[in-house]
Amino acid sequence: MIRAAAFLFIALSLAACSAEDPSSNWARGQTGTVSRVIDGDSLVLDDGLVVRLVSIEAPSFGYRGDEDDPHAEESKRALERLVLGRRVELFYPGLTQDRYERALAQVFGFNEAGSRFWVNQEMASSGNAWVRLYPDTAAGSDALWISEAEARANSIGLWNDASPESSVPDAESADGDFVIVTGRLLEGTEYETDCVHRLVGSDISVRYRALAGCDVIPEGEVEIRGWARNGSISAGYHANIRPLTGP
């Protein structure tokens, strides 16, 4: 709870919400009715378009016999309650399609009263998804950190009993799990297209794409989120490594 409260303070300080509608800075996309929800971060429109909600990650259903992630069904049901059978609008902050031909969108829906709301943010604020940024679609996502931090501080949804927060020893032995760990990183080195850091006091290496060099990570204790396997955490993007306390 202390760490969650500290991160909430950092989120509120560094990613203050703007009164401006974030969609005003994104490219307007398709409008349609949601015919099916696949999981907590994917849906299908009535024209067959598969949409991946960007900048959030929900627990996954098992693939080829693997077990479902904890809270996967609850996250899917939460998204169904928000959008199933309802009209939504898509907005594109960057890349519009992934290699699976899914639309990569920020999604806005409408409640029974006709009021418009940001679906991606609702999933984060209800504790049914966590924030996970990719450089090609991250623009305008700052408010999501605040929504997640508030859900974490109040142990809402998956933060109550299915949190990806992990101890360092558990992250070291993880095999394909999404983890959130805290610690300090040693100075990074560039290896091919990635930056690689060592997590102090562990055998864990942390990798992300070297888009802005390897000296962009804040000093002091940080929170790292990414997929862990074989003693390595793939953060993907340096924005997924965030300050937890001051230097």
The distance of Cα 30 from the centroid of its chain, to the nearest Å, equals: 23
Mapped onto helix, strand or coil, the DSSP state of residue 238 is helix
Which CATH number applies to 2-160?
A: 2.40.50.90
20 pLDDT tier (thresholds 50, 70, 90): low
d(CA 58, CA 40): 5
Residues linked to residue 122 through DSSP beta bridges, in sequence order? none
d(CA 217, CA 211): 12
For CA atoms 193, 97, 232, 208, give the dihedral sign: positive
d(CA 207, CA 214): 10
Residue 244's pLDDT is 85
For residue 25, which amino acid is it?
Answer: N
Residue 63's pLDDT is 82
Mapped onto helix, strand or coil, the DSSP state of residue 158 is helix
For residue 39, which amino acid is it?
Answer: D
Q: Greater confidence, 6 or 54?
A: 54
Q: Where in the chain is the domain with CATH 2.40.50.140?
A: 164-243
pLDDT in tens, 180-189: 999 999 999 9
pLDDT in tens, 97-145: 999 999 999 999 999 999 999 999 999 999 999 999 999 999 999 999 9
Contact 134, 117 (CB under 8 A): no
Contact 206, 237 (CB under 8 A): no
H helix intervals, the chain: 2-14, 72-83, 119-125, 142-153, 158-161, 168-173
Task: Enter the tokens of residue 139.
Answer: 């623009």
* Phi/psi at 139 (5° precision): -55, 130
Pick the CATH number of 164-243 from 3.30.420.40, 2.40.50.140, 3.90.1560.10, 3.40.50.720: 2.40.50.140
pTM to 2 decimal places: 0.90
Residue 188's pLDDT is 95
d(CA 217, CA 187): 9
d(CA 144, CA 135): 15
Residue 65's pLDDT is 79
pLDDT in tens, 148-159: 999 999 999 999
Q: Where in the chain is the domain with CATH 2.40.50.90?
A: 2-160
Average pLDDT over residues 28-50: 98
pLDDT in tens, 160-202: 999 999 999 999 999 999 999 999 999 999 999 999 999 999 9
Range scoring the smallest mean pLDDT among 9-13, 133-137, 221-225, 243-247: 9-13
